[in-house]
Amino acid sequence: MKVLDLHCPQGHVFEGWFASEDDFQRQLRDSLVQCPICADPHISKRLSAPRLNLGARQTIAEPAARVADMPAADSPAEISGRNLQAAWLSLARKVLAHAEDVGPQFAQEARRIHHGEAEERAIRGQASPEETMQLLDEGIAVLPLLLPELAKETLQ
């Protein structure tokens, strides 16, 4: 198994796991590798340190970080790119795990929920910028969140 440090032209850094270098090159050539933050398919490898197994050592696993657990920064400039990416991926995982995908009917379903015509629940889907602005003008709380197509599959 090859674990590679990858990055896109926008500077987003992420990790990819591949069966071999040939597998990575094939997936790259077939546009199967995308940045999980911006969906850019122009990916390249970064230098990474090798992982050495020097024998089994018992370690205590740390719990996965949550967005709510991130310490507050004094200013936006103090938030590093990696922390921001980690927070975004954590939020994306939560949205995908806990929100029903209503697809292109998002605006209509959000209105139905808001007016008590449908069960109140977390939903996600697609809405145009105009539909999003109309929902906000109507007092319906929505949050535009870019989820690249590949991110809708298993996020790692």
Q: Can you tell me the mean pLDDT for 46-74?
A: 47
The span from the CA of 129 to the CA of 126, in Å, is 10
Q: Which helix (H) or strand (E) holds 90?
A: helix 81-98
**Would 119 be classed as within a structural domain?**
yes
Q: How far apart are CA 29 and CA 24, in angstroms?
A: 9
Indicate the pTM of the whole model: 0.48
Residue 106 lies in a domain: yes
Give the DSSP letter string of 39-59.
-----EE---PPP---S----
* Residue 115 falls inside a structural domain: yes
pLDDT tens-digit series, residues 112-140: 999 999 999 989 888 888 998 898 888 88
Provide the pairing of β-strand 100-103 with 44-45. Answer: unpaired
Total domains, the chain: 2
Residue 83: inside a domain, yes or no? no
**Is 58 inside a domain boundary?**
no
Strand-pair category, 2-7 with 44-45: antiparallel
pLDDT above 90: percentage of residues in the chain: 13
Q: Confirm whether 155 is domain-assigned.
A: no
- Pick the last residue of a domain from 45, 61, 79: 45
Give 148: exposed, middle or buried? Use CB within 10 Å, 0-12, 13-18, 19+. Answer: middle
Q: Is residue 63 part of a domain?
A: no
Q: What is the pLDDT of residue 50?
A: 56
CB neighbours of residue 155 within 10 Å: 14
Residue scoring higher pLDDT (137 or 75): 137
**pLDDT for 14:** 83
Phi-psi sector, 133: left (phi>0), alpha (psi -120 to 50), beta: alpha
What are the Cα distances from residue 89, in Å, to 12, 100, 104, 122, 136? 12, 18, 23, 18, 25
The overall average pLDDT reported for the chain is 75
Q: Which domain holds residue 120?
A: 99-145
Read off the tokens for 5: 């440090």
